[in-house]
Structure 1
Amino acid sequence: MLKGRQREIGTLTGLLDEARAGRGSALIVRGEAGIGKTALLEHAAQTGSAMRLLRATGVEFEMGLPFSGLHQLLAPLSGRLGRLPDRQREALETAFGLRSADAPDRLMVAMATLTLISEIAEERPVLCLVDDVQWLDEASAKALAFAARRIAAEPVAMLLGLRDPVRIPELDSLPSLTVPELSDSDARALLTAALHAPLDEPIRDRIVAEARGNPLALLELTVGIRPGEMAGGFGLPVRGGAMEELFRRRLDDLPDPTRLLLLTASAEPLGDPLLLWDAVRRLGLDVAAAAPAEDAGLLEIDARVRFRHPLVRSAAYRSASPSQRRAVHKALAEATDPALDPDRRAWHRAQAAAGPDEDIAADLAAAADRVRMRGGLAATAAFLERSAHLTTDPSTRLTRLLAAAGVKLDAGAPDDAVALLAHVDEAVLSPMAQAQVETLRGRIAFAVRRGMDASAPLLRAAQRVEPLNARLAREIHLDALFASVLAGHLGGDIDTAVQAARAAVPAPHPPTVVDVLLDGLTLILTGDRPVGAALVRQALAEGDDAMWARRVQMVGALAFEVWDVDSYVSILNRQISRARTLGALTLLPQALSTVAGAHLRLGQLHTAASLLDQATELVAATGTAPSYPHLTLAAWQGDSATEDMVGAAVKDATARGEGLLVAFAHFALAIHRNGHGDYTGALAAAEYASSHLVLVFKGAASRELVEAATRADAPDIAQQAFADLRETTQASTTDFAAGTEHLCAGLITHGAQADHHYQAALEALTASGCLGDLERARLLYGEWLRRQGRRSEARKQLREAHEALTAMGAEGFAQRAARELGATGERARKRAAGDTDRLTAQELAIARQVAAGATSKEIAAELFVSPRTVDAHLRNIFRKLSITSRRQLRGMPLDDLAHA
């Protein structure tokens, strides 16, 4: 009956053939209800009957229960969980409620899904079919999207049936096949095949027109048509989403007991016939009530309960009265074992409640805690929200409502959090409750706009908390201050935040790292940089990993402020290690992308690119907000797309009110233009960055401004920029700061004095390990030597700079060095022919770990890919490096054999 679907069938057949050949892929089959998505998936199941079939179907009622869809898909593989790596096995068992433990990181669950599918694919190709993905719980949908992007090297085909619109962004990035409406000719052919009696042409035309190319509509419109109706004008208009109405019409013809049984089955998403029969018995129904629905082809009951189409389930539930639904949920709650499935029982009890009921509300709140332990933020929020509405005590209701709003925010639904806060009557709130509301508003504003409008509510919260909890107040002040810095000139009232922090209750004794950090930032922002920087350095040295885990972006910002790359890398590497060990979903991509910025200063552009690749993958898998080192990476690489990337970042950041990013983007643009020798353009970008930065990259922007101004013949600007730079470098004690100060001093001085500063800069930057800055300094020194007529010395510096900048992938600066070297009469060495076949960033990451002795499984767990993908990359690595074994990778200069 798949009329007019030759193109779609060909696509699915090709995908299955590729999977059987070891080249996996995923495809979303999109379209409106009834268009034929399910029929195409069933056709694929028949075509791939020799493959191992895993299947699941999204259920609207279960959208709030985390990992329910994934459990359905992977249930046949439960006996294989013991073959997973320990962390992955524990995460999956916790997600499925098979063990009690801390909340499983969703990334570990997603990795376990990929590993499990990859394991069984070694025996025979696998076909994963998931229908009605739009009704999958969010946790399952994200885990599937994660796995779907990583099966290219696996004999796995994944087909996902989805009714638009997409609510999970990660799914929208997957390849898709849109199933169109049938043509009139195909619709007529399908109608003719479905009917067993002649049909008058005008009636045929009307049915085809009303069905609008929807196959299910065509078939349903012909159900039960009598000969008289065929000749006399039958037709039920199908308007847009009225497919459900067709099934409601079918339900109207069924006996009342049958309709009640269908309602019970629609509210019981597990498809468990024993549970259904128990609930049906409690409703006073007989097993025979199912027969009319089975005879009508609307329901099948054998090992599982299955509806003819998801819209039958929806129609059965939506057409019932509220009292009927409550009665059914009450019966299901009574039939559900409270020991085996307490969460679903609590949810049924809540749906059965006609009004406030503290016992049910408490049961639901307890279920929310259990669901949180399983990692289900969306479900936790739904349980808490319903619990709040059922709570009788006003104080407890407020507590649950605020908790639900906070979890909504953490679950990535800030608009829902705002809607919940609208139910709060602030006139009757206690001071602490008012502070909670304000803090939540600030967190929401920060999440949505990353700075704009966040500082003010956080400040109000801190001031309200001060008389009640001084330590908590200072912590909120720190967050408010950092929020105002991020918002910058686009909405951050830094002066107000600073004054509030200064007026806050003094730090208790002994002060915490948060106290030291708050005092240090306040002093820097009020002009006492030396003392403030010393406190920041103290905080960087003393802060514990748990404290920094909540402030990963702040680590990079503050370490750069005091020119301390060692602390920058050390703290963030610990955070990365900690995140990998714990499987921390949100922390890991932030830490990876932030530490990538430090590797740029160290001249390790390939490493930075690899880290950003991993961070980008994780951001796509988790939906967390990205960081911005990709802008400076592109700038150091001399990427021609940098200007467009900066423009897009500025537009986005301006719309959200993130002033720091706007200034940072101009800082990256100054690097890019300095690399290409566009000093006038670099001057404009660096001036903007320097004038709009009060913290973090102020010193780095001043360094770019000194270089651009001296080359653009703007000595007054260069002198002022140098003075601004010295305010930051003089407050630091690192070789990085000293080297940068000497370099800029060399740029603005002359003769022997300049020579001294350049040589001192090379010495200090060599000691700092900041090889990116070292080679840029060598380039500037070589340029100065050439202009002094010292060609031989210039050639040496420029040659070394060119070779080092080329090796690290800093193409813009390397080309600048090549031009300068040419001006001395020496041609720069061209790249070897084989250079284009160097390692990619991902291959470099794998080669490093193989060289350290890691197995494919260990690397797969580290990089969040499958072991088979690691082996595929390893074959490319062997080919590119002309080697044949893992042992040969040890001792190789891998960074020299890579390109970003």
Structure 2
Amino acid sequence: MDLVGRRPEREAVERLLDEARAGRSGALMVSGEAGVGKTAMLEHARSVAALSGFRVETSVGLPSETQFAFGALHQLCAPLLGHLSALPGPQQSAIRTAFGQEAGAAPERFLVGLAVLNLLSEVAEEGPLLCLVDDAHWMDEASAQVLAFVARRVAAERLALLLCVRDPTDDGDLRPFIGLPEVRLSGLTESEARALLAASVRTPLDEEVRDRVVAEARGNPLALLELPRSAPPARLAGGFELPTALSVPRRIEDMFHQRSRDLPSETQLLLLLAAADPTGDGALLWRAAETLGIEARAAEPAEEAGLLTIDSRVRFRHPLVRSAVYGACSEPDRRRAHGALATATDPRFDPDRHAWHRSQAVLGVDEGAAADLERSAGRARTRGGLAAAAAFLQRAVDLTPEPAVRARRALDAAETMHEAGASESALDLLAIAAAQPLGDLGRARIQLLRATIAFHRTHGSETPGMLLDAARTFAPLDASLSRETYLDALDAAIVLGGPGHPRAALNVAEAARSAPPAPGPPTPADLLLDGLVTTFTEGYEAGAPSLRRAAQALDDDLSTPHVAAEPDGRRWLWLGSRAAVALFDDDLAYRLNCRNVRLTRDAGALAALPLALINLCTNYLLEGDFARAEELAAEEVAITKAIGAKPMALTTLTIAAWRGHRVETIAGRDSFAEGADGLRTGTAVSWVEYASAVLNNGLGNYRTAMDAAVLACENDELPQSNCALPELVEAATRASRPAVAAAALDELDSRARASGTAWARGLAARSKALTSTGPAAEDHYRAAIELLGACRIATHLARTHLVYGEWLRREGRRQDAREQLRTAHEMLSEMGAGAFADRAARELRATGEQPRKRSAQPTDALTPHELQIARLVAAGATSREVAAQLFLSPRTIEAHLRNIFRKLGITSRRQLRDLQLA
């Protein structure tokens, strides 16, 4: 039957297909209540695509399938695996491991996503491809996250993804798909409803019945089709049951249930078997039916009633038939059905479904079934299915008879639930674990997990204390775990510190002095803990040597391939790179941040990649390479959106501040201030205030800059205060607040002496010059230029030329001032520090010299994303290599390259290399 109405929605779907056929991929989410016509829209897309030469592949989400990691994704990709050999080796392994075809370490979720993106892209090379996913809200979490990632990264392939989801008020999880382009189906108009009713119901209906059916259905197409079908023929001739308060989808489910309830008991049991088995395997269904003594003819009444069809596959008329049958059955019948399916499922070839059906057949407890589920959880975790592992373990807890074993499994399940992102369920499982007999180590694990959940959910000020309690409990039981937990507590205190929590890090550091000694040779984590504790309790000068040993040990460790390949090998890079910046060690910070980005990319750890990109972006920004900083900032925002998270955009804000973009910086600052509380930690607030200080120093709004820099320095995050202290000295000096400037200079100078790096000593020398007069000031300016010229921090070298030139002009030395201001203007203009360059230009004009305008560069026409691709290609990377690094398809990279060539007026990669972008 043709779709009635839906013209705008049909046009949206057809537009998606037209764009895909032309090589412009896209994704569309069709949403609406149950029965509103989403599946019909998919069928319309299928028929249009078939006429247009598309290959069509499908997947259907099922409530009973949510515990099988990558199950829905495997359903979609299984017919395409013949193209797997075209993918790079790591991507092939990721897919095979995820689908249980190969043993190995659990693949990162988004490495599987990149592999699926490239697999679909390879298939689309042969002809346009349409992927249809019905009831996507019922997909397993791993499949949903991967497909949502793919939907956000498709670009230049001949590929269309069409996903159907129920409204958020219905069952299922829509979180992975939030933000995708969407078409929402609402009810049909009255005239459309009458047209559909007339076309579908052959029995004559009098007007009163027709009016009641239309009113009862409320525009829901499936209801319009099912209400007359569920009523006795006599009632269709006159009279109809009055509408009730039930929602339409629930009423439709009730009708399907009523229709199935009127069938023979043997047929009802067969329907239940089919509803309980998510695979749709006809042979499996008949094996299970045989164990219950059900004969083949039992299917005929169900097929005649239009509820399902059975051949090699089992297909329900609508997902609501399945849910109606399964939801309305008695518990004993449900257990019988799962028991029969467990018997029919071969434990050698499908051990996880066998274990799951067996577990659902149990009344009470059963250690054997629980142990099977625990083994299934281990296999699911190996495939990267944390949500599946958590579901298996949660059911294993229910079936476990022995209290001590039940406690252990509940704790394991809670940790896995939290890793899978289900913190509320994790807390419920922790309550079960806490009620069982647990040893001291188990109780410490409970404390640690509760603290970790609190930190991730609320960033509340109580988190460091909770972590400290766990660290103390671990101390006599596991020294290494105790020390790592102390380090986590200190990290949390640093992140949460600042205004409102000024002593958070100091309090935790004082407590951490009682941490047990390292049980063996100190690891980088041990050295980081010792260095940070010493720094916060005894001062920067005392702690700097320990921090240097820690950061250097981390650098040395990660130079070893086998260490770098382990997830734990990357764990402390976040703290280690911050320690390097805390020491003003620009080379070490750059090395650690580059390594962090590379290792995180290689692992496909997209959840961790944005933070790694932020840190490296800061390196490039301070070096004056604003273009590269913008490339990484754009990638960070794109990756964050691709994984369905909310970008913090702190790097974008800071780049705007350095560029002197007042409107963008203020808008970003205001947006941050209005954002979610979970993002407004002490570290993030300090970052925003630091950006404000940079902007206002550039614009000459020194009092505003000083106020912002004071707030930026209040956090215990040493890298942030290191960056903010020179801003505070300059702003306070120019705002005629010498006491504030002197206090900031004392702290900066103390850190510079302890650090000993050219970066630190150069900033201290410039700050001394700003607060000095006469020959002493000039000596400090010259020393600052020499020192900053010997390190990577070109932004502050340029700004030192600027303030030196300003000082020389005020001293009446115009010729000398011109030399410094000319250098400052050229450097600042070249890097794009607009407000500071304008300051230099004004000063130059005041000396009688007209500043030169920066000449346009060919690459100015490129977006940050295009410039990043151009750099990689210019460095010799192939399209496949660039695609793997940026989590895109090679075809998308080729499309970007065509745009890049057009904008640059070139035609080849060799010409791109000649531009020396790398």
- 3-state DSSP of counterpart to 1:161: strand
Residue 62 of structure 1: which of 65, 77, 90 is its match?
65
- 3-state DSSP of counterpart to 1:423: helix
Q: Shift of the alpha carbon at 1:189?
A: 1.4
Q: What is the alpha-carbon root mean square deviation over aligned residues?
A: 2.1
CA spacing shift, 1:886–1:792, aligned 2, 3 Å: same
Once residues 69 and 659 of structure 2 are traced to their aligned partners in structure 1, the CA distance between those partners, rounded to angstroms, is 43
More moved, 726-735 vs 357-366: 726-735
Once residues 452 and 227 of structure 1 are traced to their aligned partners in structure 2, the CA distance between those partners, rounded to angstroms, is 67
1:440 maps to which residue?
449
More moved, 640-649 vs 563-572: 640-649
Once residues 889 and 497 of structure 2 are traced to their aligned partners in structure 1, the CA distance between those partners, rounded to angstroms, is 42
Q: Does 1:669 align with 2:692?
A: yes
2:766 maps to which residue?
743
Q: Shift of the alpha carbon at 1:656?
A: 6.2
Q: Is the 8 A contact 2:283 2:312 kept in 1?
A: no
More moved, 303-312 vs 655-664: 655-664
Q: Does 1:729 align with 2:752?
A: yes
Q: Does 1:869 align with 2:889?
A: no
Q: Does 1:106 align with 2:109?
A: yes
Once residues 621 and 671 of structure 1 are traced to their aligned partners in structure 2, the CA distance between those partners, rounded to angstroms, is 31
- 3-state DSSP of counterpart to 1:353: coil
Unaligned runs of 5+ in 1: 896-900
2:137 maps to which residue?
134
Residue 654 of structure 2: which of 632, 635, 654 is its match?
632
Q: Does 1:686 align with 2:701?
A: no
AA at the equivalent of 1:708 = A
2:838 maps to which residue?
815
1:17 maps to which residue?
18
More moved, 32-41 vs 511-520: 511-520
Q: Is the 8 A contact 1:264 1:279 kept in 2?
A: yes
Q: Does 1:320 align with 2:329?
A: yes
Once residues 436 and 18 of structure 2 are traced to their aligned partners in structure 1, the CA distance between those partners, rounded to angstroms, is 65
Once residues 861 and 633 of structure 1 are traced to their aligned partners in structure 2, the CA distance between those partners, rounded to angstroms, is 27
TM score, norm. by length of structure 2 = 0.94
1:233 maps to which residue?
239
Q: Shift of the alpha carbon at 1:868?
A: 0.9
Residue 463 of structure 2: which of 441, 454, 461 is its match?
454
Q: Shift of the alpha carbon at 1:619?
A: 2.7
AA at the equivalent of 1:24 = S
1:520 maps to which residue?
531
- 3-state DSSP of counterpart to 2:433: coil
1:898 maps to which residue?
none
More moved, 795-804 vs 319-328: 795-804
Q: Is the 8 A contact 2:178 2:644 kept in 1?
A: no
Q: Is the 8 A contact 1:138 1:168 kept in 2?
A: no
Once residues 77 and 606 of structure 1 are traced to their aligned partners in structure 2, the CA distance between those partners, rounded to angstroms, is 40
More moved, 87-96 vs 287-296: 287-296
- Output one character per residue of 1:632-666: Cα deviation in whole Å (capped at 9) or x when no partner: 22322333222232233344475667222222221
Q: Does 1:271 align with 2:272?
A: no
AA at the equivalent of 1:494 = A
- Output one character per residue of 1:254-278: Cα deviation in whole Å (capped at 9) or x when no partner: 2211111111111111111111111
Q: How does 1:494-643 map to 2 (within 5 A)?
A: 494-508=505-519, 510-543=521-554, 544-545=557-558, 546=563, 549-622=570-643, 628-639=650-661, 640-643=663-666
- 3-state DSSP of counterpart to 2:309: strand
Once residues 735 and 451 of structure 1 are traced to their aligned partners in structure 2, the CA distance between those partners, rounded to angstroms, is 38
Once residues 375 and 407 of structure 2 are traced to their aligned partners in structure 1, the CA distance between those partners, rounded to angstroms, is 16
- 3-state DSSP of counterpart to 2:100: coil
- Output one character per residue of 1:261-314: Cα deviation in whole Å (capped at 9) or x when no partner: 111111111111111111111121111111111122211223321111111111
CA spacing shift, 1:279–1:694, aligned 2, 3 Å: closer
- Output one character per residue of 1:756-786: Cα deviation in whole Å (capped at 9) or x when no partner: 2112111111111111222222222222222
AA at the equivalent of 2:223 = A
More moved, 554-563 vs 280-289: 554-563
- 3-state DSSP of counterpart to 2:348: coil
Residue 345 of structure 2: which of 333, 336, 339 is its match?
336
Once residues 143 and 341 of structure 1 are traced to their aligned partners in structure 2, the CA distance between those partners, rounded to angstroms, is 23
More moved, 190-199 vs 318-327: 190-199
Q: Does 1:53 align with 2:50?
A: no
CA spacing shift, 1:584–1:36, aligned 2, 3 Å: same
Q: Is the 8 A contact 1:449 1:656 kept in 2?
A: no
Q: Is the 8 A contact 1:525 1:694 kept in 2?
A: no
Q: Shift of the alpha carbon at 1:807?
A: 2.7
Once residues 642 and 169 of structure 1 are traced to their aligned partners in structure 2, the CA distance between those partners, rounded to angstroms, is 30
TM score, norm. by length of structure 1 = 0.96
Q: Does 1:176 align with 2:179?
A: no
More moved, 435-444 vs 216-225: 216-225
AA at the equivalent of 1:484 = A
Once residues 621 and 806 of structure 2 are traced to their aligned partners in structure 1, the CA distance between those partners, rounded to angstroms, is 23
Once residues 427 and 46 of structure 1 are traced to their aligned partners in structure 2, the CA distance between those partners, rounded to angstroms, is 57
Q: Shift of the alpha carbon at 1:29?
A: 0.7
- 3-state DSSP of counterpart to 2:237: helix
More moved, 66-75 vs 727-736: 727-736
- 3-state DSSP of counterpart to 2:691: helix
Q: Does 1:882 align with 2:905?
A: yes
More moved, 33-42 vs 849-858: 849-858
Residue 86 of structure 1: which of 81, 84, 89 is its match?
89
Q: Shift of the alpha carbon at 1:621?
A: 3.6
Q: Is the 8 A contact 2:788 2:794 kept in 1?
A: yes
2:309 maps to which residue?
300
- 3-state DSSP of counterpart to 2:29: strand
1:5 maps to which residue?
6
- 3-state DSSP of counterpart to 2:27: strand
- 3-state DSSP of counterpart to 2:153: coil
Q: Is the 8 A contact 2:859 2:867 kept in 1?
A: no
AA at the equivalent of 1:235 = E
Q: Shift of the alpha carbon at 1:227?
A: 4.6
1:644 maps to which residue?
667
- Output one character per residue of 1:798-855: Cα deviation in whole Å (capped at 9) or x when no partner: 3332333233232332333333333333343345567685222221221122122211
Q: Is the 8 A contact 2:570 2:599 kept in 1?
A: no
- 3-state DSSP of counterpart to 1:730: helix
Q: How does 1:478-497 map to 2 (within 5 A)?
A: 478-489=487-498, 490=500, 493-497=504-508
Q: Shift of the alpha carbon at 1:191?
A: 1.3
AA at the equivalent of 1:638 = G
CA spacing shift, 1:873–1:31, aligned 2, 3 Å: same
2:210 maps to which residue?
204
Once residues 225 and 694 of structure 1 are traced to their aligned partners in structure 2, the CA distance between those partners, rounded to angstroms, is 70
More moved, 798-807 vs 123-132: 798-807
Q: Is the 8 A contact 2:577 2:589 kept in 1?
A: yes
1:755 maps to which residue?
778
AA at the equivalent of 1:480 = A
Q: Is the 8 A contact 1:330 1:352 kept in 2?
A: yes
Q: Shift of the alpha carbon at 1:10?
A: 1.5
1:36 maps to which residue?
37
2:807 maps to which residue?
784
- 3-state DSSP of counterpart to 1:883: coil
1:220 maps to which residue?
226
Once residues 277 and 562 of structure 1 are traced to their aligned partners in structure 2, the CA distance between those partners, rounded to angstroms, is 70
Once residues 540 and 157 of structure 1 are traced to their aligned partners in structure 2, the CA distance between those partners, rounded to angstroms, is 47
- Output one character per residue of 1:192-231: Cα deviation in whole Å (capped at 9) or x when no partner: 2222233222322221111111111111101154553123
2:741 maps to which residue?
718
Identity of aligned residues (%): 48
